[in-house]
Structure 1
Amino acid sequence: MSEGDRDHSTGSGRLVTGAAWAALLLGLWLWGTEVTDVRHGLSVPATGDMAAVGRPAAAELPPAAAPLKDARPRRIDIPSLRVQAPVMPRGLDDRGGIDPPPYARSGVVGWYAAGARPGAAGAALFVGHVDTEDRPAVFHGLGAMRTGETVRVFRDDGTVAEFTVDDVQVVGRDRFDARQAYGVRQSGRAELRLITCGGTFDRASGTYTANVIVSAYLTGTGP
């Protein structure tokens, strides 16, 4: 981030703006496609919450549910993190990266509205801030998630799409692989990606050194 970015955003929190989300753009071309040769077993659960490292993965995961019809997300609940957050649609910023919610709304999760809708076939993308200068933000605990945990997305058709986490990774910016991060894990399945900043904070550039990526797939629905 440039010095000008810092001046423009004074008081808005830890300022991880367009540059910090630039890696996300590398995956845009994959969304809505059926990329199925994604490798598993590369998970490294970690963010600023290093307690996640080394926890065992869940032994058994439920079968995938059939994808739902398109509907827009209204709210996301992550019971294990005690997160209940509204969702707002987002596009790309003027640098070509995904535009996260404003820091003034650090408790809100952004959904990339040009991509898949959560619950429908494909990989839907949600992004959120990890922190601000003075407090944790909505996805601060994302790296503490573990396989088998639940994410619920409340949709505007009155249904709740329930996802089960099957992968948690921290991906360094210098190792970012769009196919690994965003490719559909299984053809025809409804999947979800939750993404925030991770690694360490580089004060010189104003960005984090990695992204945390939680992957999940649809396993149930409810009213």
Structure 2
Amino acid sequence: MSEPRASAGGRLLTFAAWTVLVMGLWLWGKEITGVPPAPPAGQQAAGQQGPALPAARAPLSGAMPARVDVPDLGVRAPVIARGLDAQGAIDPPPYELPGTVGWWGAGPAPGAAGAALMVGHVDTKSKPAVFYGLSTLKPGQKIRVARADATVAEFTVEDVRVYERAGFDPHAAYGSRVKGRAELRLVTCGGNYDKAAGQYSANVVVSAYLTGAGAGAASV
């Protein structure tokens, strides 16, 4: 299958493109140290009925991400663009860069209309990686993406869900929820680790949407 390409204005990808993307997410999962407790498959974590969420902001123009900050997790990580590997799977950040986040460069840029996708490892053979605490985020908490055009896109967490491999619906997990809205998905491995298969049983997906923007440096 050929590599999917971004469409003008960050429109949703075709089903075939989503299928390639999802297979890529399932195929990287070699971490072995374990994952923090996570919500049930396809459901929000308990107690995620928090305060009323702010209104969405109008999307920004497209600009490449340079850094992602998740203040409540102490995450301040560089971002690199990633594509598909030779097997047609999404190529995560190299394992020797456990503190780096990968942005799926064929999709929308964070802050532009559509759902931008960022992936990161949950752990390594010896220690937690950049997205280890992802499943503990709560609605209303903030994610900030510093962009190459010297703007910072601020996203508000909408929910955190865990999607098991069985019966997985890529559009539900990664597709835009509100037409024309700028959205963000942070994705890492979750569920149980199968040593024989060399992968986790699920993905943790944090869904957020653009609620603010300002000026800021893109350096880490």
Q: TM-score, normalised by structure 1?
A: 0.79
CA–CA separation in structure 1 for the residues paired with 2:149 and 2:68: 14
Query: Once the two structures are superposed, what CA deviation does each residue of 1:151-181 show, in whole Å capped at 9, x if it has no partner?
Result: 0000000000000010110000113101101
Query: Once the two structures are superposed, what CA deviation does each residue of 1:180-210 show, in whole Å capped at 9, x if it has no partner?
Result: 0111110110000000000011000000000
Residue in structure 2 matched with residue 54 of structure 1 by the alignment: 46
Residue in structure 2 matched with residue 74 of structure 1 by the alignment: 66
Specify every segment of 5 or more residues in structure 2 that has no aligned partner in the other structure, as ranges: 15-33, 40-44, 216-220
Larger fraction in helix: 1
Structure 1 residue 150 and structure 2 residue 142: aligned? yes
> Residue type matched to 1:193 in 2?
R
SS in 2 for 1:103: coil
Structure 1 residue 104 and structure 2 residue 93: aligned? no
Residue in structure 2 matched with residue 32 of structure 1 by the alignment: 11
- Root mean square deviation, CA, Å: 2.2
> Residue type matched to 1:32 in 2?
R
Query: Once the two structures are superposed, what CA deviation does each residue of 1:109-132 show, in whole Å capped at 9, x if it has no partner?
Result: 000011000000000000000000
Residue number among 41, 53, 76 corresponding to 1:84 in the alignment? 76
CA–CA separation in structure 2 for the residues paired with 1:67 and 1:121: 5
Identical columns (%): 55
CA–CA separation in structure 2 for the residues paired with 1:60 and 1:34: 30
Residue in structure 1 matched with residue 22 of structure 2 by the alignment: none
Structure 1 residue 204 and structure 2 residue 196: aligned? yes
Structure 1 residue 219 and structure 2 residue 211: aligned? yes
Residue in structure 1 matched with residue 24 of structure 2 by the alignment: none
Number of positions where the alignment pairs a residue of Structure 1 with one of Structure 2: 186
CA–CA separation in structure 2 for the residues paired with 1:74 and 1:210: 27
- Please identify runs of 4+ aligned residues in structure 1 that moved more than 3 A: none
Structure 1 residue 116 and structure 2 residue 116: aligned? no
The answer to whether the 8 Å contact 1:192/1:217 transfers is yes
> Residue type matched to 1:49 in 2?
P
Specify every segment of 5 or more residues in structure 1 that has no aligned partner in the other structure, as ranges: 1-24, 36-46
